[in-house]
Amino acid sequence: MLNTVTASWPKHLALLALCACSLAQAQTAPSRIGYVFTERLMTESKLAKAADAKIEAEFSKRQKSIQDTVTRFKSMEAKFETDAPTLPELERTRRARELLDLEKDVQRTQREFREDLIQRKSEERANIAQKAYKLIEQIAEQEKLDIVLQESAWTSPRIDITDKILKQLDK
């Protein structure tokens, strides 16, 4: 039994040495890292600016309408405050209710406007992100990057590929 253990010992030692060499070679191969500042893609790219302009045009009429309603409400409120002391109780109550209803309508309309605007911006950002992701994959493959990060506390400009992605996104 001692003979079989001692006879296989050189084989195990050779296998162990081979594994150690392979591990050492794998550890010496440097990893290549890239970094993308995604917020810049969402604000500086031509695609993002075009999306912002499109959304602005799409929502400008609604925003104007809301502003007009707010102006009308403020004017009615100011008139009510000056007239209230001289109004009969029934008229004062009617106008106060009218103001309250209008204020609720304004708040509802503003909330719906914000929600719709946020949704549209999210849709456009998702579209940009989808296109950017494909470009990130292409550039990572071309430059043989092992990993591309998008969030970090600090990044060396040497590994920042944001400008490359912006150029490709703007084509």
Could you state, in chain order, the average pLDDT of each consecutive group of 10 residues for the chain (171 residues)?
Answer: 48 44 54 94 96 97 97 96 95 96 97 98 97 96 95 91 95 88
**How much is the pLDDT for 151?**
85
d(CA 1, CA 53): 83
Q: Which residues pair with 160 in a beta bridge?
A: 35
**How much is the pLDDT for 28?**
56
pTM for this one?
0.73
The upper half-sphere exposure of residue 3, i.e. CA atoms within 13 Å in the direction of its Cβ, equals: 0
**How much is the pLDDT for 7?**
52
* Selection from 68, 69, 78, 67 nearest residue 101 by Cα: 69
Fill in the amino acid letter for 130. Answer: Q
**How much is the pLDDT for 40?**
95
d(CA 69, CA 80): 16
**How much is the pLDDT for 8?**
52
